C-alpha cells in the first residue's frame, strides 16, 4: 500500500491475526471497564443531579441522557457494521467479518433503547406514545435492518457465506442512515430538529451539554467492551480447530 506508513500496515496485520488480537483484547479489558464505569458515574451524576431543570419540560428532559446517546450509537454502530462488512467482502479479513456481525445485537439493543425511551418521553410531552413521522419510522426501519442482519446470519449454516450475505444486506441498509439523520430537516416531523449534531452552535445550555457528551462517551466505551467480548467468543468458535486455541486451552485449562 502506498502513502500508508509501514508501522500502521504492520499494526493492522497484527490486529488481523486472531491469536494476537485475542491476547491484546484480554489485556485491554480491565482498563476499558474502568473508563466505562468512571464515565457513566460522572455522566449520570452530572445529568441527573448537577444539571438544572429545563425551562419548559422541567425534569422530564433528563431522559435525553439515555435517549440521545443511544440514538447516536444506533447510527454509529450501523456504520461500523457496514464498513467492517465491506472490508470483509473486499479484503477477505476474517476479523472484519466478525466485528461486523458482532456489532449487530449491540446496535439493535441501542436502537430499541432509543425507540423505547423516546416513547416514554413522547407520551407526557407530545401527548402520544408513537407517531408515524419520518424520524420515528426510519429509526424503526433501522431496528428491522439490525434484526434482519441477525436473522440472516443465523439462517445460513456456512458462516463464510453468511458473513458475505450479511455484509451486503448491511451495505444496502446504509442508505437509511442519512435519511434518519436528515429526516427532521427534509420533512415536517413531530420529532424536533437536531440540538447538538449540526453546523451551528448547539442549542443546549453548556451545563446540560457536558453530561450529555460524557454519557455519549460512556456509551461508546460500553460498545467497545461489548464488541470486544463478542468478537473474542466468535473468534474462539470459528477457530476452535486451530492450533493456537488448542495450545491456549491446554495452557490455561488445568
Partner 1 sequence: MKPARKQRLILISLMVIGIAIATGFALKSFNENLMYFFSTTDVVAGKSPKDSLFRLGGMVIKGSVERPGDGMMVRFKLTDFSKEVTVEYTGILPDLFREGQGIVAHGKLNAQGVFIAEEVLAKHDENYMPPEVKASLKTKSLSEKGQ
Binding site for partner 1 (CB under 8 A): 1, 52-57, 60-61, 64, 86, 89-91, 124-128, 131-134, 168, 171-172, 174-175, 179, 186-190, 192-195, 203-205, 207-208
CB-nearer residue toward partner 1: 151 or 178: 178
Min dist. Cβ of residue 229 to partner 1 (A): 29
Give the residue from 108, 76, 83 showing the smallest Cα distance to 180: 76
CB-nearer residue toward partner 1: 17 or 195: 195
CB-nearer residue toward partner 1: 1 or 250: 1
Q: How far apart are CA 239 and CA 101, in angstroms?
A: 16
Min dist. Cβ of residue 208 to partner 1 (A): 5
CB-nearer residue toward partner 1: 35 or 190: 190
CB-nearer residue toward partner 1: 89 or 225: 89
Residues in the chain, total:
254
Min dist. Cβ of residue 150 to partner 1 (A): 21
HSE-CB at 124 with a 13 A cutoff on CA atoms is 10
Strand partners, 54: 58
**Which of 227-244 are b and which e, b meaning 16 or more Cβ less than 10 Å from the residue's Cβ?**
bbebbbebbeebbeeeee
- Which residue, chain included where needed, has cell 464515565? 39
CB-nearer residue toward partner 1: 22 or 144: 144
Q: How far apart are CA 224 and CA 113, in angstroms?
A: 18
Cα-based angle 234, 90, 72 (whole degrees, multiple of 5): 65
CB-nearer residue toward partner 1: 123 or 246: 123
Q: Are 180 and 138 in contact (CB under 8 A)?
A: yes
Min dist. Cβ of residue 195 to partner 1 (A): 4
HSE-CB at 81 with a 13 A cutoff on CA atoms is 34
Min dist. Cβ of residue 122 to partner 1 (A): 9
C-alpha cell at 40: 457513566
Min dist. Cβ of residue 128 to partner 1 (A): 6
Q: How far apart are CA 51 and CA 252, in angstroms?
A: 48
Min dist. Cβ of residue 199 to partner 1 (A): 14
Amino acid at each position: 500500500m502506498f502513502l500508508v506508513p509501514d508501522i500502521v500496515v504492520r499494526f493492522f496485520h497484527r490486529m488481523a491475526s486472531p491469536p494476537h488480537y485475542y491476547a491484546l483484547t484480554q489485556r485491554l479489558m480491565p482498563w476499558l471497564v474502568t473508563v466505562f464505569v468512571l464515565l457513566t458515574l460522572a455522566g449520570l451524576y452530572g445529568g441527573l443531579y448537577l444539571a438544572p431543570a429545563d425551562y419548559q419540560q422541567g425534569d422530564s428532559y433528563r431522559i435525553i441522557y439515555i435517549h440521545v446517546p443511544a440514538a447516536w450509537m444506533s447510527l454509529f454502530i450501523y456504520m461500523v457494521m457496514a464498513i467492517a462488512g465491506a472490508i470483509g467482502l473486499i479484503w477477505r479479513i476474517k476479523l472484519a467479518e466478525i466485528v461486523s456481525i458482532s456489532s449487530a445485537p449491540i446496535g439493535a439493543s441501542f436502537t430499541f433503547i432509543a425507540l423505547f425511551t423516546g416513547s416514554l418521553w413522547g407520551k407526557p410531552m407530545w401527548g402520544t406514545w408513537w407517531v408515524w413521522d419520518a424520524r420515528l419510522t426510519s429509526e424503526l426501519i433501522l431496528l428491522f435492518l439490525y434484526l434482519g442482519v441477525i436473522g440472516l446470519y443465523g439462517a445460513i449454516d456456512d458462516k463464510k457465506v453468511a458473513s458475505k450475505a450479511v455484509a451486503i444486506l448491511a451495505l444496502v441498509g446504509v442508505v437509511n442512515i442519512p435519511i434518519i439523520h436528515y429526516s427532521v430537516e427534509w420533512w415536517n416531523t413531530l420529532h424536533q430538529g437536531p440540538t447538538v449534531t449540526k453546523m451551528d452552535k448547539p442549542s443546549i445550555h453548556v451545563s446540560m451539554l457536558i453530561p450529555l457528551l460524557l454519557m455519549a462517551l460512556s456509551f461508546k466505551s460500553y460498545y467497545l467492551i461489548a464488541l470486544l467480548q463478542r468478537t473474542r467468543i466468535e473468534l474462539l468458535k470459528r477457530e476452535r480447530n486451530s492450533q493456537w486455541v488448542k495450545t491456549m486451552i491446554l495452557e490455561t485449562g488445568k
